[in-house]
Each structure stands twice: as C-alpha cells, then as structure tokens.
Chain A
Amino acid sequence: MKTKVLMAILAVVIAGLIAVPWIASYFYVFIFTEILILGLFAASFNLIFGYTGMLSFGHAAFFGIGAYATALVLIHLEWPFLACLLVSMGASALLALMIGFLSVRLNEVYFAMLTLAFGMMVFAIAYQWRSVTNGSDGLAGFTLGSFGLGLDLTLANPSVYYHVVLGIVAIAAIVLYVICRSSFGMILKAIRQNPERVSFAGLNVRTYRLVAFVIAGIFAGLAGGLIAPFLRVASPELLHWSMSAEPILMAILGGTGFFLGPFIGSAAFVLLETWITTYTESWMLVLGIILALMVIFFRKGLLGTAIDWWMEVKK
C-alpha cells in the first residue's frame, strides 16, 4: 500500500516534469533545467556525505571541471554533446581519483579541510591558466551541435534541452540509486556508522571511500557538463569553494537520509531563490534563517519531515 502510494506520487511528479515545457513559461523551463542539474550535483555529493559520512568542501571542483571539459570539447573539437558529457565524466573521474587518493585517508575535519584546499587549488588553476581557461572571463561562445546516437535534436531550443537534461538526469539518478541499494551502497552506509567495525569484516575502508569519492566526482562532472551549455559559459565561479557549499545546503535542506532528498533540496533552493529575490535582495539572509530552522527543528530535511508527518497521519 505504502509503496503503491509512493510510486503513484513519483509517477505524477515525473509526468509533471515531462510536461513542464507544455504547461509552463520559458522562465520556468529554465528554472526546472537548473533544478535538475543542481539536483544531480547534490545527489552525487550525497553519495559521499549522506551515505558514506564524508563531508567534502571541494565537490565543486568536479562540477566545474565537467563544465570546462564540455566547453573545451565544444570549442576545439565540436564533438556531439553526448561525447562531451563522456569527456566531462572522464575528466572529473581522473581529478576525483587524484584528490580522493590524497584525501580519503583522513577523517572528518581533516578530510573536509583537505578537500577544501584542493578545491581552491583547482579554482586557482582555472582562474590563472588563461591560455586554456580564458581566466576570470571563462569559456564562452561555444554552440551545441548534434546530440549523438543519430538523434536529431535541436539542442538550442530550451524545451528540447530541458527534456535532454531530464532524460540524462533520470538515467543518472537511476544508476546512482542502484549503486546506493547495492551491497556496495550498504557497505558505504556501514562505513558512515562505524568505519572501524567495517574493517573487522576484512574490508579496506579506504578503498571503499575512494571508490565512492570517484563515483560522486563522475556524477558531479556529468552535472557540470550539463550546466555549461545551459549557462553558455564555463567560468571559475563554478569551481569556487562557495559553489561547493550548494550541494551541502541542498542535501541538508531536502534530507540527507533519503535518495531523493537532494533533488527536493535543489528544487526548494532554486525556487525559493527565484521567488525571494523578486521581493528582496537579501536572499542569503532568508536562506540562512530557513537553514538554521531546518537544522534545529527538522533534521531530516523537507523530504524526511514530510515522510514522518505522512506516517503519523496514516496512523
């Protein structure tokens, strides 16, 4: 019964998402494109945060390098979009392997500081390596050609691009979900609870943490590859440490204990930002208050709180 209701809700949400370009204005097509991309970014982050218990302050490095990779491939090679995304995923995987190799051996605050430090280094490189990255201006002026796989899609059309993003994010989310539900995902959860105890089972905790870190990096890179054509620019801001805070906020806002939490968090974040900034400039102040209230009163996030409330009502 419970699963049936949940499946029904999920089906309605998916149908609603598919229908966005037909029922809403272009403005909201853009908003929902952003929600989906940032949702994937936050969900990738939650694999290491919510599941494995590692608080990374450098996740934007992978998001940003994904954006730069797609932009560079579009500018210099003019490959189909799908190939660009694969390059983005490969580049972020490589970067995550390097940063992760050096970081996952440390715990808690040391891990957080090290990821922050590496994130800042990546930002500095993008900012200063002008000949490749065009410095603070970022890379712009690229256009999307074909999609790949022989599909004839007009990617320049925001509605079409939205549907492409929706499809890719849905597939990525399913893959992430399967990973989370696998024995591998279960071991990550166990590591969050007590890494030492996992090692008594003969498992090398460091290896598992590194694999989780790289997987999270790959999906963040994919999200980055999707954001570059959407923003029409790959700029250093995407790599900035403040960008690393966004998936943290979104995951907590939506609920770190639930797979879909970060997506809900992304939706809440983007929609609130959109609505609140029409009334006041101080959106960050409002966001701060909301976050403080969430952390103090609703630890489980929007989704967790909603599910708890629903369970109560059903009793």
Chain B
Amino acid sequence: MILDVRNIQTFYGESQALQGVTLQLEAGETVCILGRNGAGKSTTLKSIMGLTPPRSGEVIYDGKPVQGWPAHRIARAGIGYVPEDRRIFPGLTVRDNLDVASYQRKGSNARWTVDGILKKYEMLGERADQDGATLSGGQQQMLAVARSLMIQPRLLLLDEPNEGLAPVIVQQIGELIDDLSQTTTILFTDQSVRFALKHAQRAYILEKGQVVHEASSDELRADQATQDRFLSVA
C-alpha cells in the first residue's frame, strides 16, 4: 500500500472540514475522489500534502507516517501535488517553470527530466521559451502537471484537474492522466462522474467531510442510485 489515510479530521479554525476520512491506495492505482462542492475533496488532498495538517488521524505514505511534516518534506518524499488553481509561475518561461521544480534532484537518474518532458509533450516543447503566463488555461494545467513530475513523484495528487477547462482540453487532460497512470500512482478529485469513471479504477465519494461510498468504477457506473444520491449532475 502506497498511501493509507486513517480517519483524519481536519479543521479550518473552528469549523471541521473533514470528519474522519479514511482511504487507501495501492501502488499503481488511479483513484478518484468524487463529491459535491464543499464535500472536502480538496481538503483531503491538502491534508495529505501537509497544507492543512489533520488534527487527528494518520497519513501513512510508503509505510511512514507523514502527518505533521512540512509540505516541502512531503514533496521530497515523493508526493507530487497540483493544486486546484493550477497557477504556474508567471514571468518564468515554460522551461524555467520546469527547471525550478527539478532543482532538488539534478543529476539523479530521473525518469522525468526537463528535456524529456519538453520532447514528449510537444505542446510544451513548442513553447519552451515562452512566458508561462501567455499559455492558455489548458496549457497551463499541462505545465502544472508536468512541473509536479519534476520531483519524480511516486504518488501524484491532482486537485480538480479539469476545473474550468473546455471539453477538448478535458479530453487531453484525461489522456495525460491515462499516460501517467502507466508509471505513477494517481489520486485525483473531480466533480464529473463520467470523467472519473473513464480514467480511474476506483472512486471514493465524499460528503460532508466523510467517505460515504467506495466502489470500483465498474460498480459505480452500474449504480445509478448512488450516483443520483451523492453526486450532482455534471
């Protein structure tokens, strides 16, 4: 098991955002967290990443408890994170955006290198020397995901990778997730059942800060009642 989240409770000040979330990921899996707005999807990822440290419960990554670690240490341990707002570093070129993130691991025999990424993803390669701020929303998302690869993650957390993107871009992001899932364990959040079921093998449904349902994609696809009960039509 690469990630074992046990009964975490996270608070924003006095208000409790997560009321005991438990979820597990086996290495190599692609899993989606579904749920309506405010269900706690983003908070779950932030709690794993150490941005909103859980007040109780455990986050065990690769056999080690990592709750309470600062974000940079969790990143170094091998968890890549792409936050929801997907902002890249404006003022830096596409290549520099990748370079910044690869600084930590230079010289290692890394799977992901700046040149490798620029070659593999033509869309980024063609714009390597362009200011990141001039990219479209979808291109920025691709770049943000690519940047998260520079720390050579064994687990990728993607927070609503499709939010606000045009359907044709959503399709590209889906292809990117499929491609990365060949080599990396992925946990992503989404509001769209269709997208989740297409690209993830399993899904957790979150409501009011708790996991209310867990199912494989095939099961959930057939279970219209659960979809209607917990998820908004998207």
Contacts and interface: CB of A to CB of B under 8 A. Distances in A.
Interface of A: 183, 186-187, 189-190, 193-194, 196-205
A201 B89 contact: no
Interface size class of B (residues with CB under 8 A): 20 to 34
B80 A200 contact: yes
Interface in B112-156: 147-148, 150-151
Nearest to B80: A200
Given A193-B91, A199-B75, A200-B71, 7 more contacts: A190-B89, A197-B83, A202-B101, A202-B105, A202-B151, A204-B72, A205-B72
Contact of B151 (A189, A193, A194, A201): A201
B92 A189 contact: yes
Interface of B: 49, 51, 70-73, 75-76, 80-81, 83, 87, 89-92, 96, 99-105, 147-148, 150-151
B147 A186 contact: no
A99 to B, nearest CB: 22
B74 to A, nearest CB: 9
Contacts of B102: 201
Given A197-B87, A204-B72, A190 B147 contact: no
A274 to B, nearest CB: 35
Contacts of B70: 199, 204
10 contacts: A186-B99, A193-B89, A194-B89, A197-B83, A200-B80, A200-B101, A201-B147, A201-B150, A201-B151, A202-B76
Contacts of B87: 193-194, 197
Contacts, number: 69
A201 B101 contact: yes
B180 to A, nearest CB: 16
A187 B72 contact: no
- Taking chain A's interface residues, is the majority helix, strand, or loop, or is none over half, making it mixed? helix
Nearest to B51: A196
Residue in A196, A197, A202 with the greatest tally of chain B CB atoms within 10 Å: A202
Interface of B, helix, strand, loop or mixed by DSSP? helix
A200 B105 CA distance: 13
Nearest to A257: B91
Given A189-B92, A190-B92, A199 B100 contact: no
Nearest to B78: A202
A190 B90 CA distance: 8
Contacts of A200: 49, 71-72, 75, 80-81, 83, 101, 148, 151
Nearest to A204: B72
B100 A183 contact: yes
Contact of B92 (A186, A196, A199, A201): A186
A189 B89 contact: yes
Nearest to B106: A183
B151 A186 contact: no
Contacts of B49: 200
Contacts of A189: 89, 91-92
B103 A183 contact: yes
Contacts of B81: 200
Interface centre among A190, A197, A203 (most CB of B within 10 A): A197
B148 A203 contact: no
B89 A197 contact: yes
B100 A187 contact: yes
* Residue in B89, B90, B99 with the greatest tally of chain A CB atoms within 10 Å: B89
A183 B114 CA distance: 14
